Amino acid sequence: MPVAHQGDSMKVNAWNEWDPLTHVIVGRADGTMVQAPEPAVFRDWPEEGFPRGTHGPLPEAMTAAANEQLDHLARVLEGRGIRVDRPRPLDFSQPVATPEWSQKSMFGAMPVRDVLVTIGNELLEATMSFRSRWFEYLAHRPLIESYFRADPDMRWEAAPKPRLTEASYREGFWDAYDALPPEEKIARVRRGELLLTEAEPLFDAADIARLGKDLFVQRSLATNAAGIRWLRQHLPDHRVHGVTFENAHPMHIDATWVPLRPGLVLHCAERPAEEELLHHLKVNAWQVVQAATPQRQAAPPLSACSRWLSMNVLVLDPGTVCVEAGETAQIEQLYALGFDVVPVPFWDVAPFGGGLHCATLDIHREGMLQDYFP
């Protein structure tokens, strides 16, 4: 039952990760693929039926279970008066091509957060950096078009579509990188010498954490320095901070650095932040809390994520957080920090690209732009 939005006069507006949520997109699992190999990524899951070089749809039973949990999340949010929209899955098994390359499959429409970001009244489409995800924005275009029609103030923006030729990737990256000792991997993360070259701006929207005027953007396997520079130029009224963490496989900031309310960030203990970043928060009296240890030892089979999906939470308002129901230690920690918790089962969604924050995109949160680091 969609309520609490202003009929057709809906507005795109979200400046941070915590203001009261009134309108959100929840992804769909339909047709998600173990994507075909490409320069950026190859899957190698022989025990689950996908040895290196193969690709194909995730099993039907897994897709049904994930959709059940996604539909349940949508009902829970609607029950709280939040408008929920859903994307239109494409045939992700189809090969795709640009004039410069071809790719044997796409990926899916579950992690909406990776592709789009709302910054104030702007809805921005990320470049993405995997060929299998180049066309993913099309799953969300019918919704974006409808928002653009309904909200005369909405700014619809798309970052430069990347070429993603061989020049965008370090040749032979994965074989060389996998052989390095852990400390050398971290040194490379710090130096930004990862998968992506600086041939063109590249970023996934899920590497951005929004804290009002300050945006923290993780340099990662999906986001390069040129992508951060593009964001900085594109958003001149914001302070865009490029950040790294001690994480040998950085990919999306929302299981590492999760703002919960003004003055409080949840941080992954296994992925220490740069001193400079911690200092920036401390001098502004922000508290950085180490997230509780996840209940699970690892993400489920056919998932590219880590067990730290435990902290991939969706903040509904500054006092209420939606958390995966099995993550009891994380739930207890949030209660202790003074939050009300809405537990929802979501573990079956992990193989489709992440947790509660990944699966959603806030279109409208109450509240305006504020400077939390004056």
**CB–CB of 324/347 below 8 Å?**
yes
Is residue 254 part of the contact set for ligand NVA (CB under 6 A)? yes
Binding span for ligand NVA by CB under 6 A among 178-186, 231-239, 249-257, 341-349: 249-257
- Specify the 3-state DSSP secondary structure of 24: strand
> Smallest gap, in angstroms, from Cβ of residue 249 to ligand NVA?
7
**CB–CB of 28/110 below 8 Å?**
yes
Instruction: Enter the tokens of residue 268.
Output: 């992954």
**CB–CB of 77/24 below 8 Å?**
yes
Is residue 223 part of the contact set for ligand NVA (CB under 6 A)? no
Is residue 185 part of the contact set for ligand NVA (CB under 6 A)? no
**CA distance linking residue 249 with residue 251, whole number of Å:** 6
Binding span for ligand NVA by CB under 6 A among 135-143, 156-164, 207-215, 247-255: 247-255
> Smallest gap, in angstroms, from Cβ of residue 306 to ligand NVA?
4
**Number of residues that make up the chain:** 374
DSSP state of 192: T
Q: From the centroid of its chain, how far is CA 173?
A: 23
Catalytic residues: 204, 252, 358
Instruction: Enter the tokens of residue 255.
Output: 């299981």
Is residue 105 part of the contact set for ligand NVA (CB under 6 A)? no
> Smallest gap, in angstroms, from Cβ of residue 151 to ligand NVA?
29
> Smallest gap, in angstroms, from Cβ of residue 114 to ligand NVA?
9
Mask of contacts with ligand NVA, 325-364, x by CB under 6 A? -----------------------------x---x------
Q: Which of 21, 25, 255, 342 binds ligand NVA (CB under 6 A)?
A: 255
- Specify the 3-state DSSP secondary structure of 230: helix
**CA distance linking residue 87 with residue 83, whole number of Å:** 14
Sites for ligand NVA among residues 294-313 (CB under 6 A): 305-306, 308, 312
Number of residues that bind ligand NVA (CB under 6 A): 10
Query: Among candidates 199, 212, 209, 224, which has minimal Cα distance to 256?
Result: 209
Q: Which helix (H) or strand (E) holds 276?
A: helix 275-283
Nearer to ligand NVA, 135 or 308 (CB): 308
| Site residues, ligand NVA (CB under 6 A) | 251-252, 254-255, 305-306, 308, 312, 354, 358
